[in-house]
Amino acid sequence: MLMLVNCSNCHTPLQLPPGANSIRCVLCRAVTLIAAADPRSTPLPSASSSYHHHHHNHYQQQPTTSPSPYNRVPSGPPPQAHGRKRAVICGVSYKNTRYELKGCVNDAKCMKFLLVNRFKFPESSIITLTEEETDPYKRPTKSNIRMALYWLVQGCQPGDSLVFHYSGHGSQKRNYTGDEVDGYDETLCPSDFESQGMIIDDEINATIVRPLPPGVKLHAIIDSCHSGTVLDLPFLCRMDRQGRYVWEDHRPRSGMWKGTNGGEVISFSGCDDDQTAADTSALSRITSTGAMTYAFIQAIERGHATTYGNMLNAMRSTIRNKGEQEGGLVTSLLTMLLTGGSLGGGFRQEPQLTSNEPFDVYKKPFSL
């Protein structure tokens, strides 16, 4: 049975193979020594147990009065024909801070509605993290987002379909390892990023991309600034306004592997990486957070979700046109829920598509 321990240096959760007495962190390369029969090292969350993330390098069993959401799903036997469906949805509003965003919680609600009603994701197989939640395990803190991402890919099997949706702030940090084409790591900003730090693309890639086994499909929908390559996927679809495209090779010059273990990962993101600000001061600027989520849902509602190329073109067209108020049930719900001018102003960003491998975007059918 795999064990989960924190890196002794950067505190990233690491999966410890059975019998191992040390493990090297894939992010900071520090070696963490594991004492024999260390009671602080406990198995990964399962359907029959629940654990609490403790910040001092271990996981402790939590009181049964406040069950962790990471122990519940997917419940029951998986459907035989198409495998299981599982999703993590994060909407970070940074309430009562100078970074506050108005539309992100609504983005999360609408994405869940879409997955449940259009794509038949079981509600019990969706973890939603927003600041509206009273359960401390369901708030979009750095610790909870990390745990949710580990939960998302844990025990996945051929035929499974996974979704990660994030709506919130994104930023950049200077990269010194040489594995970024533009010299910067892209980051996601949890609700407590000012005290706990951001989640960098290297960690996201190591957590939900590299372990993905054959036959498993993961879609990421990332609605934030600096999000073009936030999953650190090797290939980016560079498409012009006429729909012509080429795949850009973003594999690191260092030779570090950023692909999967045989699975398939495709990411829609809110904009390219090339905005200039690279620190948290950029987060106070007005952003178009919410526009990409709206465009993604509207493209599906309007019947454009035939191929990935058609999806990307439809999303870009919606954002350029600032979104006409029409569509199906989900789009109507979204229009009612959106607040704070998420669709207002001129949009400078265009959605991007990245993948673990190139494919013909006009022939590959879109499916979740």
Catalytic positions: 169, 225
What residues contact residue 344 under an 8 Å CB cut-off, 6+ apart? Answer: none
Question: How many C-beta atoms surround the C-beta of residue 290 within 10 A?
Answer: 27
Q: Find out whether 269 and 182 touch, Cβ atoms under 8 Å.
A: no
Alpha-carbon distance of 185 to 26, in angstroms, equals: 15
Angle, to 10 degrees, between the axis of helix 291-301 and the axis of helix 308-320? 120
Hunting for tokens 């035929």 — which residue is that? 159
- Token pair of 164 as six digits: 């990660």
Q: What single-letter amino acid sits at 178?
A: G
Alpha-carbon distance of 212 to 339, in angstroms, equals: 36
The DSSP bridge pattern shows strands 161-167 and 85-91 to be parallel
* Vertex 290: Cα angle to 287 and 292 (nearest 5): 100
Alpha-carbon distance of 238 to 244, in angstroms, equals: 8
**Residues found in the chain:** 368
Judged by phi (left if over 0) then psi (alpha if -120 to 50, else beta), residue 262 lies in: left
Q: Which helix (H) or strand (E) holds 42?
A: strand 42-43
Q: Which alpha helices (DSSP H) does 178-321 contain, by range? A: 193-196, 201-204, 291-301, 308-320
